[in-house]
Structure 1
Amino acid sequence: MTDAILTVPTTTSPADNALPEGWLAVKSLDLEAQGVAHRPDGKVVFIDGALPFEVVSANIHRSKSSFEKGTLTQIHRESSQRVRPDCPHFGLSPQSCGGCKMQHLHIGAQVAVKQRVLEDNLWHIGKVKPGNMLRPIEGPTWGYRYRARLSVRFVRKKGEVLIGFHERKSHYVADIKECRVLVPHVSAMLLPLRALIASMDAIETLPQIELAVGDMGLGAAEVTAMVLRHMEPLSEADLNRLRQFAVAHPGVQWWLQSKGPDTVKRLDELPGHETGQLAYTLPQFGITMPFRPIDFTQVNPHINRVLVQKALALLQVEKTERVIDWFCGLGNFTLPLATQAREVLGVEGAESLVARSRENLTFNRSQAQAGIALAATEFVARNLFEMTPELLVGDGAADKWLVDPPREGAFSLVQALAALKQSPELRGALGAGWTPPKRIVYVSCNPATLARDAGVLVQEAGYCCAAAGVVNMFPHTAHVESIAVFELEA
């Protein structure tokens, strides 16, 4: 896919001036997957549903002094990258499902858009240009979503229950009967779930179902956990309805949430219909990761396997090295690292996640495959948004770092690293033996905060950005995941 699909000229071309009045030549896509065009006077117009290289007309619904926003009404010249959306619920009407924004764009062009977003953010925010652009990490484009938070609503006027994602630019629940990005067996349960909720006494006080699918069950087949948020105690009749639904749909296990996340508990199962424990696997490393349905795990396990393998290959860990995994979560990178390093430290903000990481370490040590031994591994809780040079030195020197922060990024962490790198006196006062990591692999779910942190690493901490690339974790959405490699310059 050529990068030309995203070229944004700085001035309006003569051809644009020759267009009939009201027609707009689309030059690029923005982060919300809106087409970007310019009026003859240079005013920017964002057009929902339009693609690069198209000439379109739009219905303008918002106008400001510097920009306008509108919705595509007619295509006068169509892009070669426009495709027919696979999902019947995708569209531009307000009632359409808002879960995906790019289904009308060829999947290769979607990846090209995300690659350009990453490059632009790195340069414009961090003033960083990677030495090498990595080949995008891609996987299945449909049926990839193993986690989802489904909204539930009883529409009294219609006398029916809706379950799914929100409508486009709305808090209303879209009337969807299937979802092509969900795991197929979960998509097939959307209508049975609607019927289940419609039959319950608590029909009006059940706002949400959070679901998680394991790619294997410990001691059983594939497990689908559903966490039902209920605003009032459930009657025994409703609990029995949930149990019977699980019997009719093998592998389903119900969890109940009455208030916050700490109230989530498993519903007992009917004898003879027990399901296994929720888990996913990293078979390249002989690792199995048990998890609870509200624990953070990646939405796309297919991409996660490739991402973990790629990140460790880029980190180039040796058996003699100590590695720190910052924002380690359940140990998604930590435990695979423990199969390659001499020593690994996993650092996470929440004590509950640290406890789960330790459980996973113990489990994998007990289940270790022949020839696979886990290195000395420790997990600690640390507020990574309030890191200081003192705390950084306290965690000890490491040869390599793996950094996998949430959307907020790792600004405090890289600032502490930069302060130590810039001040030999500070390093000497805090710990004479501390040295900065030779290589850092940074996995990001937000290109803007990655670019900000990359700017600190390159401009202040003495690193170069050796490589970067996109990870298409969420096909058909505008969400951009990426990975970058930083090497300490001599």
Structure 2
Amino acid sequence: MPSWPTGSRHASRLHKATILTTIDFSITGLASNGRGVAEHDGESWFVDDALPGEIVRATIAVKRRRVRRAKTLITLKASPDRVVPRCEYFGVCGGCVMQHLSISGQLRHKQANVVAALERYSVEFAADGITGISPSAWGYRRKGRLGVRYVPKKGGILVGFREREKNYVTDIKQCHTLVPELSSLLPSLKGRLQDISGRESIPQVEVASGMNNAAIVVRHLTPLSERDLQRLTSFGREQNVRVYLQSGGPDTIVPLEKRGEPLTYRIRASGDTIEFLTTDFIQVNDAANQEIVDLVLHMLALTQSDRVLELFCGLGNLTLPVASNVDRVVGLDYDEQLVRRGKDNALFNHKDNVEFIRADLTEAPVGEWWASERFTKLLLDPPRSGALEILNTIVPTLAPERIVYVSCNPETLARDAATLTARFGYRLEAVQVVDMFTHTGHVETIALFV
């Protein structure tokens, strides 16, 4: 920046611009994207790198009718929950947004989000009935989708998560949230992708880790040469990684060579072994998932005479542990591949009191088969959109004794809780927040209705 003479017209203009674009903010909240929330002159602002309770001096980054964002220049008063981010890429990489907030601070923030959502929907609950745990904060992600981009000006292949709110790829050498076996794979993966001729046609790689092995799915937009296939094959053998190719949608995923064991993880509570593919939906944090399974079993208060209906069952992560404690369990899901995987997992674990059925749970009614069968307990683990339609259809007929709701979105959980309590007469008995995705704004909640 040029140094203008004191008193010059340029210096006056520069000083005036600085005054107009710099604001002192008192931060009162935290958004899910990790930005501080503040009010100034009757307007709401989002402030980068600012935490609740802090006073920061920030410069205006964006000021439009509906979007007002500022960037912190200096922290005038720091929060006691502020910590030094562990990752060198924090602030650029979009994989994490809260590494500057202590683990306990993140959990309190997520609990507060759940409470606020329930209050917005006027759902009655006991304040001391909402608790939280953060089982694993670092090296927990056993799955990840990495962006890939060939940029000659930056040295060739870039591999990493997308930048914050941008489509650029953050070139990372390691990731502190990936499990160590996946993080340590990044440099060699980047080197191998750099070495193949079809590197420009690869937009992403999905990585996953099981109990004893790892796998990657290489997405490619054009056919790879025979040499490229050989290079990827040798990479898989050298790193003891199963390599899959994906030329289109999920149904185009094929193994590069048929070798090694499938990806699996084990459920602590029941001893069940769950087999999954790299692109299957599973809970990415194993320690948090084990806690969720334990909580679900405890909240359902299962007996050998119970018959349980599970909605959005996936590949059996909760279904099979429940089956170990009841007379019968039926799992419904709209994903045909996950239903097929659930059936295979039940067979592998010798669970003959389980039935997996494909059903469209986004529309009502879902069929009449369930109306003739008596279920004592209801379990559901819906996507972010929640389960309002299916609850309105099934709950009046089944009238289950207990409902356990596993949610990844406080807003739709609160909306559905309002229906269960106000319309159907259930009581929200307990709420447990589990920090599944530490350092992100995502929150997992388990709620019990009786």
Structure 1 stretch displaced more, 70-79 or 104-113: 70-79
The aligned amino acid for 2:118 is L
Paired with 2:337 and 2:249, the residues of 1 have a C-alpha distance of 14
Which residues in structure 2 correspond to 1:231-380 (within 5 Å)?
A: 231-250=221-240, 252-268=241-257, 274-365=259-350, 374=351, 376-380=353-357
Which residues in structure 2 correspond to 1:173-188 (within 5 Å)?
A: 173-188=169-184
Partner residue in 1 for 2:359: 382
Which of 431, 450, 474 is the equivalent residue of 2:437? 474
SS at match of 1:161: strand
Q: Are the aligned partners of 1:207 and 1:230 in contact in 2 as well (CA < 8 Å)?
A: yes
Partner residue in 2 for 1:398: 375
The aligned amino acid for 1:138 is S
Partner residue in 2 for 1:370: none
Paired with 1:36 and 1:134, the residues of 2 have a C-alpha distance of 24
Q: Are the aligned partners of 2:111 and 2:130 in contact in 1 as well (CA < 8 Å)?
A: no
Paired with 1:128 and 1:457, the residues of 2 have a C-alpha distance of 10
Superposition RMSD in Å: 1.7
SS at match of 1:22: strand
Which residues in structure 2 correspond to 1:51-450 (within 5 Å)?
A: 51-64=51-64, 68-91=68-91, 96-124=92-120, 126-131=121-126, 132-214=128-210, 216=211, 222-250=212-240, 252-268=241-257, 274-365=259-350, 374=351, 376-388=353-365, 391=368, 393-394=370-371, 396-417=373-394, 420=396, 435-450=398-413
SS at match of 1:100: coil
Partner residue in 2 for 1:28: 29
Q: TM-score, normalised by structure 1?
A: 0.84
Paired with 1:324 and 1:232, the residues of 2 have a C-alpha distance of 44
SS at match of 2:234: helix
Alignment of 1:484 onto 2:434: no
Partner residue in 2 for 1:369: none
Paired with 1:231 and 1:64, the residues of 2 have a C-alpha distance of 38
Q: Which runs of 5+ in 1 are unaligned?
A: 1-20, 217-221, 366-373, 421-433
Offset from partner CA, 1:219-270 (integer Å, 9 cap, x none): xxx11110001111221111111121122212x110111111001011116x
Q: Are the aligned partners of 2:371 and 2:398 in contact in 1 as well (CA < 8 Å)?
A: no
SS at match of 2:132: coil
Q: Are the aligned partners of 1:151 and 1:164 in contact in 2 as well (CA < 8 Å)?
A: yes
Partner residue in 1 for 2:45: 45
Paired with 1:53 and 1:391, the residues of 2 have a C-alpha distance of 54
Q: Which runs of 5+ in 2 are unaligned?
A: 1-21
SS at match of 2:26: strand
Q: Are the aligned partners of 1:463 and 1:486 in contact in 2 as well (CA < 8 Å)?
A: yes
Offset from partner CA, 1:49-103 (integer Å, 9 cap, x none): 1011111011212224576211111111111111000001112xxxx11110000
Paired with 1:173 and 1:384, the residues of 2 have a C-alpha distance of 35
SS at match of 1:443: strand
Paired with 1:456 and 1:178, the residues of 2 have a C-alpha distance of 45
Q: Are the aligned partners of 2:359 and 2:366 in contact in 1 as well (CA < 8 Å)?
A: no
Identity among equivalent pairs (%): 41
Q: TM-score, normalised by structure 2?
A: 0.92
Structure 1 stretch displaced more, 81-90 or 133-142: 133-142
Paired with 2:434 and 2:448, the residues of 1 have a C-alpha distance of 14
Judged with a 3 Å threshold, the aligned counterparts in structure 2 of structure 1 residues 293 and 65 are, in CA distance, closer, same or farther, namely: closer
Offset from partner CA, 1:186-230 (integer Å, 9 cap, x none): 11221111111110010100111011111x2xxxxx111100011
Deviation of 1:25 after TM superposition, in Å, equals 1.1
Q: Are the aligned partners of 1:397 and 1:436 in contact in 2 as well (CA < 8 Å)?
A: no
Deviation of 1:393 after TM superposition, in Å, equals 4.4
Offset from partner CA, 1:296-334 (integer Å, 9 cap, x none): 111111111111111111111111111011100001111
Segments of 4+ in structure 1 off by > 6 A? Answer: none
Judged with a 3 Å threshold, the aligned counterparts in structure 2 of structure 1 residues 54 and 244 are, in CA distance, closer, same or farther, namely: same
Paired with 1:362 and 1:310, the residues of 2 have a C-alpha distance of 25
The aligned amino acid for 1:307 is I
The aligned amino acid for 2:249 is G
Aligned residues: 428
